[in-house]
Amino acid sequence: MFSFVYSDRIPPGGKFYYLVPETDVFIESYQSKAALETLVRQHYAVNKREPPANLMALMEDYMCRSMPEGTCKGSDDGRPVTTRPLTFFKVVEKLEVFFRGRPALITTEEAEKRSAICFSCDQNWPGMCVSCNGLKQLAFRMARGRKVVKEAWMGVCRKVGMPLNAALFVKDPSAFGNLEAYPQHCWVRKGTK
């Protein structure tokens, strides 16, 4: 399992988060790990489930798997590690290069439909700090000032490799590469609509 190198510091992105595996619900807190733990325990209670005895360790491990190198310590226990190959700088570079060509965009109404699919997709990586160093603002500029209602829940798409806040608005998803590589439920596979 992974854990924070400095457990008393706020991680990159300024928030603590956890995906409850039993219910597939993503919970976050901007206050502290303890506040997140309280929210997660409340979630377990509301769903009449017993939280794991090592809940805090599981929460740290989950967050560490999407943190920049050097933030965490520990070893992989065989579960997938999402800390690479996507890095903050790769995401910024892909976003800037892709939108340099000024691709055609869709309406906000169409993007809202897409965001509903991304909201519950396991490729939506909310752990990638979209609020760090202006990434969210850059995505907003690339989408030419457009936003979706669930913007706060849109992270970086692990398949597209860029913030969903921008990718949702691209009219022609074939520009994202091999459409067969995307999950069956993904709007990218369905073409231009």
Residue type, 117: I
Average pLDDT of every residue of the chain: 83
Express each pLDDT in 16-71 by its tens digit. 889 899 988 888 888 889 999 999 999 999 999 999 999 999 999 888 877 766 77
- Considering 32-36, 41-45, 110-114, 168-172, the range whose residues carry the highest mean pLDDT is 41-45
Alpha helices in 26-174 (DSSP H): 33-46, 55-64, 88-100, 108-119, 135-142, 164-167
Instruction: Calculate mean pLDDT across residues 163-168.
Output: 90
- CA contacts within 13 A on the Cβ side of 146: 21
Sign of CA dihedral 69, 84, 64, 3: negative
Residue 117 token pair: 């699919």
Residue 59 phi, psi dihedral angles, 5° rounding: -65, -45
Predicted local confidence at residue 128, as pLDDT? 62
- Residue 142 burial (CB < 10 Å; 0-12/13-18/19+)? buried
39: helix, coil or strand?
A: helix
Q: Which of 26, 23, 29 is nearest to 47 (CA)?
A: 23
**Cα-based torsion angle of the residue sequence 162, 64, 60, 43 in order, rounded to the nearest 10 degrees:** 20
